[in-house]
A and B are shown apart, each in its own frame.
Chain A
């Protein structure tokens, strides 16, 4: 589904990503973790071309992301993405947030798009909020709407960029629950997150990054059981002990 081969990116002389190589199979759930500044978010944004990269290759569903001939908009419409700060469109009602891209990008008729929007809101438990504006919802609710908005495009895979980092602790679980459900239904997912509980529960593989490199790329059992690199051991020791 997603394959990365020696992806590198630098700003001037600063290396953000260095020779990152990994694969994500259909139906797989990958958790990407690592200290801040390690390049996790950049890596995941390269997958749908929001961040350009200088060398290497990323293939998503048979399409090369870095190829200048690729229609990036079309590719992005098939890859759902959820952001740390939700990024709902504040001037639109919740239901319009879910419908607009279906209408403008996929060409669905507005009625069908709203219909689908309502179904997805049902699914994340927010049907009653359909006519409200994003600013009137809590962070957790906004993030669930953002997930529903991404799903409204019928994506072939989903990218999550620290989806719970901007949330109050109380609201983290409602978002993780939606993500867990999604994973159990077989969605292909790549999640940048520090929620190790989530990783243990639903991830198939864990990627650990440090200083722009993929240091560890293992099944979750291997990663949590016995990480090979010292850096990953330190990281786990720090975040698991409180």
Chain B
């Protein structure tokens, strides 16, 4: 196989005529991936915490609604959800709102749909982690909080959640890593994130090996950073004398 390796391709000016190089494209893609994943992760954490807590409260209606939410977002393929948010949702909105959405900058449309999609999909998974964290606490902890005169919400706030969150840092790390990887799906609706930029680079330069090796390395580095960050968090919140503590 005669393949012309050319790592210098990244420094060449792009064929679009402006000043940017192909490396700039990669950076833009990386920025988009990071911006999208982080914003979706924040929403997923907040929403997942709320839904996860609701699944454990002693109220059949609330926990039922939360369970339905989790099962809905967990059991539809991510790609299908993305298409629903991007192609179907604008049609279901009230007409003026739907039109307003369709008239905004296409990049904003793609970004918003992708962010909501990733956030809700991941929130269902975070909710399951939160629920399992709460359920794995000794049952006496809740009683101890209530017996001191805490209300149920104070008991969650001061007694159960602080420990539950510590217990689920490792599984949350996987979800955090997943959201970066899942964000690549958003290239299917035209969002120019890292994977899409990689493909675009192939179209323009016919150097697929260099392009996808660069994309691969970028994802790996990104997740190494996330993983070390979460390790730090894990060590930081460790409870002395408790299982896994020092």
- Spell out A's residues near B (CB within 8 Å): 45, 48, 50, 72-74, 76-81, 83-85, 87-91, 100-101, 104-106, 132-137, 149-150, 153
Contacts and interface: CB of A to CB of B under 8 A. Distances in A.
A100 B154 CA distance: 11
A83 B148 contact: no
A87 B146 contact: no
21 contacts: A50-B143, A50-B146, A73-B146, A73-B151, A74-B149, A76-B147, A77-B149, A79-B147, A80-B147, A81-B144, A87-B138, A89-B145, A90-B239, A91-B242, A100-B158, A104-B154, A105-B149, A106-B149, A135-B240, A150-B148, A153-B149
Given A74-B149, A105-B150, A135-B240, 10 more contacts: A73-B149, A78-B149, A89-B159, A90-B239, A106-B149, A132-B240, A132-B241, A133-B240, A133-B245, A137-B241
Select the residue from B143, B147, B154, B241 with max chain A CB neighbours within 10 A: B147
A193 B239 CA distance: 31
A153 B149 CA distance: 9
B106 interface: no
Given A87-B141, A89-B159, A91-B162, A135 B150 contact: no
A85 B138 contact: yes
A76 B162 contact: no
Contact of A90 (B148, B151, B163): B163
Closest 9 CB pairs of A and B: A135-B241, A77-B149, A87-B144, A136-B241, A101-B148, A81-B147, A105-B149, A87-B140, A135-B242
Contacts, number: 85
A200 to B, nearest CB: 28
Interface of B: 138, 140-141, 143-151, 154, 158-159, 162-163, 166, 239-242, 245
A85 B162 CA distance: 19
B69 to A, nearest CB: 28
A194 B108 CA distance: 69
Contacts of B239: 90-91, 133, 135
With a 10 A CB-CB cut-off, give which of A76, A79, A90 has the most chain B CB atoms. A90
B146 A133 contact: no
A83 B144 contact: yes
Given A132-B241, A134-B241, A89 B147 contact: no
A83 B143 contact: yes
A76 B144 contact: no
A149 B148 contact: yes
Nearest to B241: A135
Contacts of B141: 87, 89
